Copies of this chain bind each other. A is one copy, B any other.
Amino acid sequence: MAKYEELMESIITQINDGVWEIGEKLPSLRKQTQISGLSLMTVLNAYQALESQGVIVSHSRSGYVVAPKIIQPAYKRTNPDFEAIEKVDINDIIFDVLQNSRRPNLINFGSVYPDASLYPRAQINRSLANAARTMPASAMIDNFPPGNEDLRHIISQRYAAQGMSVSPDEIVITSGALEGLNLCLQAVTTPGDWVIVESPSFYGSLQSLQKLGLRALSIHTHPQTGIDLKALEVALKSHNVKACWLMTNHQNPMGFTLPDENKQQLSRLLSKHKVYLIEDDVYHELYAGSKKPLPTKAFDHRDMTLHCSSFSKSLVAGFRIGWVAAGAKAEQIQKLQLMSTMAASAPMQLALTNYLTTRSYETHLRLLRKTLAQRKFALWKVLNEHMPKYVKINYSEGGYFIWVELPEHIDARYLYSASLEKNISIAPGAMFSLTKQFQNCFRLNSSFECNEKHIKAIKTLADLIVELNKNAPK
């Protein structure tokens, strides 16, 4: 065992023994070298390894603190492993929540976007102005799939930085990741086909299934480890499945990231059954720790993964620019796009290309990740302080969602309505599932600075929950 590993073990033992409690600060690097007699480099290695394992979290102002991961609430395994849904019919609450998110002065815990002030708006606007000044006439007329060549090159190089070889030729620029995901689903299914989705899952996948007349296999999904691979295998064996739509990193709404071995196994399972994976990876830049998680596509050797992402969560919302890395399906995706929206907006593609080539995206991302991690942790602490004991708060590393479970008899839609009256929004669990399983849950957006106003809003939510718990039928 290396010296840094010995140090790691001893720290983990200390945490388990209660020497360091959740949220508490570990000895600083300098202090730890004095305590352990190890070199600064060894201590740093140990701390970084602990961080990448999610045991501790780094905070610029307070050094390293013990992560909440260790005391996750016990997860109740439900039966059955999966549910087969013949007719996908997702309710109107999604539309309602999104429309209400536009209210002025709303405390927007229900928002799907990060705090707008975290985007590098001045730089983005300068890139847009630059694109406007230099845009050739041809850029407007030649605006057909697969999209801007320079932009596809940059995206290809970002895959290469993760050790993946994705040719610019297999990348198609789309009107946001959502268009890409929809086109992929169209490309590999026909109406009536079975498609695997997570439960709970991003509502966009459920809406797409409904729109395309597809049938859903809704698979049991764990708030920390993601889709249940055993249940997935059973579903694959019992149904003629055509596609599987998953979010593998910082999943919306639960927040988990699939471990690499699960991604590998997932890819192997799907390939074996000749099922395409439509991988929604829009939060991939928002990881915690030091290493960007790989997509499942990195483990796929049979070109069965259509990998979709965008810049909407990490750089700028509202541009509506995403992409698909579609392998051999790229041409079919282009043809489908030509039929749907023709192409993504040309100036938006040029502006992004300008930003990515002339500004420091990495510097922005580093700051964004750090801020999101700090804010998530801060909100988690406030929740733990103010929520009644029977409320379970799921903490996950990366992204900016916290998944909250109320007692089973409380429908979070009531909490949604009641809190909206007090100008606070949440995203109720009913948005994310075709079954009634998650009606007692809701998703919180932790990307906003947790100031007095937000703490007060959390207290209000807690009061409403106490009220609902009293009055709800049991």
Q: A residues touching B (Cβ–Cβ < 8 Å)?
A: 92, 94-95, 98-99, 101-102, 111, 113, 116-117, 119, 121, 125-126, 128-129, 131-133, 135, 137-144, 175-176, 178-179, 182, 186, 190-191, 204, 207-208, 210-211, 213, 316-321, 334-336, 338-348, 351
Contact = CB atoms under 8 A, between A and B. Distances in A.
Instruction: Specify how many copies of this chain sit in the oligomer.
Output: 2
A208 B335 CA distance: 11
Those 10 A-B pairs whose CB atoms lie nearest each other, nearest first:
A140-B318, A318-B346, A128-B132, A207-B339, A116-B137, A129-B132, A143-B318, A129-B129, A125-B132, A175-B341
Nearest to A95: B335
A210 to B, nearest CB: 8
A345 B312 CA distance: 11
Contacts of A334: 95
B186 A141 contact: no
Nearest to A108: B141
Contact of A318 (B117, B121, B133, B139): B139
Task: Tell me the dominant secondary structure on chain A's binding face.
Answer: helix
Contacts of A339: 178, 182, 204, 207-208, 210-211
Contacts of A347: 128, 318-319, 347-348, 351
Contact of A144 (B99, B316, B346): B99
Given A94-B338, A116-B140, 8 more contacts: A121-B135, A140-B316, A140-B317, A143-B317, A175-B175, A175-B344, A179-B340, A182-B341
Given A143-B318, A186-B211, A341 B116 contact: no
A190 B213 CA distance: 9
29 contacts: A94-B338, A98-B144, A99-B144, A101-B142, A102-B142, A113-B141, A116-B138, A116-B141, A119-B137, A121-B140, A125-B133, A128-B129, A128-B347, A129-B132, A140-B318, A175-B341, A178-B340, A182-B341, A191-B191, A207-B338, A210-B339, A211-B340, A318-B346, A318-B347, A319-B347, A320-B343, A345-B348, A347-B347, A347-B351
Contacts of A138: 116
A336 B211 contact: yes
Nearest to A137: B116
Most B CB contacts (10 A, CB to CB) among A178, A179, A316, A347 go to A347
Given A102-B144, A140-B119, A213-B191, A176 B342 contact: yes
A125 B316 CA distance: 20
Most B CB contacts (10 A, CB to CB) among A133, A207, A318 go to A318
A101 B338 CA distance: 14
B317 A345 contact: no
Contacts of A335: 92, 95
A8 to B, nearest CB: 40
Contacts of A116: 137-138, 140-141
Contacts of A126: 132
A123 to B, nearest CB: 11
A133 B140 contact: no
Nearest to A92: B335
A340 B182 contact: yes
B340 A320 contact: no
A167 to B, nearest CB: 18
A190 B191 CA distance: 11
Contacts of A139: 318
Contacts of A213: 190-191
Contacts of A317: 140-141, 143
Nearest to A116: B137
Contacts of A178: 339-342
Contact of A141 (B141, B207, B318, B348): B318
A102 B138 CA distance: 9
A92 B346 CA distance: 24
A232 to B, nearest CB: 25
Given A140-B119, A211-B340, A340-B182, A320 B125 contact: no
